[in-house]
Amino acid sequence: MCNTAITMPQTASSETGFDEWFVTSLNNGALMMMLSIGHRTGLFDTLSEMDWTDSAGLAKRADLNERYVREWLGAMATGEVVEVDENGRYRLPGDHAQFLTRDTDLDNLAVMAQYISVLGSVEDDIVECFRNGGGVPYEKYTRFHEVMAEDSGMTVVDALEDHILPLIPGLTEKLQHGISVLDVGCGRGRAMLKLAGLFPKSTFKGLDLSEEAISWARAEAKKQGLGNVEFEIRDASDFDQTGEPEAHDFVTTFDAVHD
Ligand SMILES: C[S@@+](CC[C@H](N)C(=O)[O-])C[C@H]1O[C@@H](n2cnc3c(N)ncnc32)[C@H](O)[C@@H]1O
């Protein structure tokens, strides 16, 4: 196993402990990328189903390359995410598994670890903006819409039925009888897809700038056989001029107004 933790330089010393804080932050940043890999490969899910195991056992069960799984376990042990016993076997403690697996009643925090790599994918573009101004469009961010949909699946979609809709008295009943709903900046459209399934008498529309996100949403609507939801690629920045007044009974926007 290689030493995946970066150690303090010999010359470093700080009365306030800043150098130690810096190295710890550096290691934690790298650890987040390994947590992201653990989520994407399903290693946390597989590990949570197993008792003490070695890299060969985990790699076999997860159907992954043993050499890489061994390095990943080393990083997880160094980062104190997994436990190691005296025989060099690994285990994911239950109180860590509940924050790192898909099959959890709590939020899967490993989803959020993916943002570190997503942000890293545009560092060159951001440096360019510091020099020349401008902005970085969403399509430059590798996997942005995929990760965003996973994130809002936990924060928005999961809360829709029991927490968000009841904020407006009578809304659930109106949705049951049939109304027209628009979601602006819908991303991959998971909120509209969920509501379309729950309320078949209502019609739903999601619009977003992103061609990639809308293509995914359309394909998912087809896969789920939903005939009461549609998606449109559209820039809503001039919506105050171009939007049809009173075309919809209920308009939502989740995590998009700041854009
Ligand atoms: C942070 S994401 C949230 C996505 C989605 N609402 C969710 O919760 O998963 C913001 C979304 O707004 C979209 N967006 C930003 N500016 C927009 C505009 N002018 N017109 C339409 N969509 C826009 C982006 O493409 C992106 O999908």
Domains identified in the chain and CATH numbers: 18-114 (1.10.10.10), 138-252 (3.40.50.150)
Q: Is 46 in the pocket of ligand 1 (CB under 6 A)?
A: no
CA angle 233–239–243, rounded 5-degree value: 90
Instruction: Give exposure, 244-255, as e/b (b: 16+ Cβ within 10 Å).
Output: eeeebebebebe
CA of 143 to the centre of ligand 1 (A): 14
Query: Rounded to an integer, what distance in angstroms lies between the CA atom of residue 7 and that of residue 27?
Result: 9
pLDDT per residue over 53-70, tens digit each? Answer: 999 999 999 999 999 999
Query: Rounded to an integer, what distance in angstroms lies between the CA atom of residue 128 and that of residue 144?
Result: 20
Q: Is 259 in the pocket of ligand 1 (CB under 6 A)?
A: yes
Tell me how long the chain is.
259
Confirm if 250 and 171 have CB atoms less than 8 A apart: yes
- Counting atoms of ligand 1 from 1, which one is nearest the CA of 210? 25
Please report, to the nearest 10 degrees, the dihedral formed by the alpha carbons of residues 98, 103, 107, 112 taken in order: 100
- Closest-CA residue to 43 (of 90, 3, 78, 105): 90
Structure confidence at residue 245 (pLDDT): 85
pLDDT per residue over 74-121, tens digit each? Answer: 999 999 999 999 999 999 999 999 999 998 878 899 999 999 999 999
Residue type, 4: T
CA of 256 to the centre of ligand 1 (A): 5
Structure confidence at residue 9 (pLDDT): 60
Ligand 1 pocket: which of 119, 136, 139, 148 to mutate (most atoms within 8 A of CB): 148
Structure confidence at residue 3 (pLDDT): 53
CA of 63 to the centre of ligand 1 (A): 36
Q: Is 101 in the pocket of ligand 1 (CB under 6 A)?
A: no
CA of 189 to the centre of ligand 1 (A): 10
Q: What is the pLDDT along the chain (259 residues), one digit of tens a residue?
A: 455 566 656 555 778 889 999 999 999 999 999 999 999 999 999 999 999 999 999 999 999 999 999 999 999 999 999 999 999 999 999 999 999 999 887 889 999 999 999 999 999 999 999 999 999 999 999 999 999 999 999 999 999 999 999 999 999 999 999 999 999 999 999 999 999 999 999 999 999 999 999 999 999 999 999 999 999 999 999 988 998 888 999 999 999 988 7
- Closest-CA residue to 183 (of 174, 173, 175, 193): 193
Query: Rounded to an integer, what distance in angstroms lies between the CA atom of residue 32 and that of residue 28?
Result: 6
CA of 250 to the centre of ligand 1 (A): 18
